[in-house]
Structure 1
């Protein structure tokens, strides 16, 4: 059976569209093509530090222009997931409390979702990325998890990039809390396919006609596969061509950069309903 033509697009941000706050060649043209052909799309990031508005401003400064609502972060996915869990646990009533280690992108998403912030008997301890990890906050998180708070982390990335070299990220601090408590967090961001499914729901898209573009086999591509999406690996970020063979799974396509993807946006037109049925 032929694969259904692509009508919707998801793309990772760092390593695909930007590198160290500079646009990668073809990134602005790719976003412009999506908007020209009126394709539903979202730009995804596991980074929970920044809000949509912050990220839009950073992308705009690099020459990539898009609306705020075209950005989907692990912080937003985490807030949405926890809100759904709280509604289910409280018979449709939003009554949830959180202790948060993270920056504005995470705290604002949880606040807008209706959560109360507390350091006394919270429902959840939520860990996100920050550049100012506090020993006192980590200690408090360990004690709260020990006392029964459910442990959630935005993403499992152990390190993040910087101009000086790798920085410890959410996964590394989560490991510290896990070692102290014996409790593993539930990670919402990639490679959890939940991140992909929440993104698809946000743009009312279906996995069968959506393409995911990423630069990492171990997060972007595996989560796309597990969510039922086709995928393109670009070689401008973490995974290099010689590393692909190490993995027991494959992307649908491998391309040098996002610039090579631009022509596909116009070619892969969504079919009419009767054409879908014929396939």
Structure 2
């Protein structure tokens, strides 16, 4: 990751280092479709896999539930979220309303500093495409949208888009057609050109088209992959840290 991005890296507020590492391992397993929608996430088994405590695992699962990646049900435990087609479309529709409005009526223009951050993210995204790293593609695409919202809007708008982006990442991981490539990196380049030139109406049209293309690349009829042993799924990415 480039130095310019280090200060703005995604944080797990309230989690200690070990918990953040476990949270990231679970995110990756979900986005890579190794953990399937609806899969149960028992605290005791996760604690054993990650050589951690149930208390730490509970904190991780609560943090992931705030991201809408995990659902916690009373008396039943935690499960990987399983958004249906209606919820997916609602999330994407809400994103279009908010993100197009940010493009057309920005609170502030793009600065050289924020443009540099966006260009650095696009470089990471290009590398992810070159490496055929689907999880990295999804992650950097979401990061581009979040940083663009921060650059043109305000922290309240960015917080809303951050939550919607996380939910979209799960939706893409579940439903994206195998031949699709997440956000097309060329779309981000065109968006950056438009906002840098302060062509706000054009930027709004580009954002609307961009988000519509994401939805059109989803196949809500596609079956989810079959489940496998939780220990086998998570063992390759388990993070062993001192308690």
Q: TM-score when scaled to structure 2?
A: 0.30
Q: TM-score when scaled to structure 1?
A: 0.27
Higher-Rg structure is: 1
The structure carrying a bigger strand percent of its residues is 1
The structure carrying a bigger helix percent of its residues is 2
Q: Which has the higher contact order (CA 8 A, sep 6+)?
A: 2
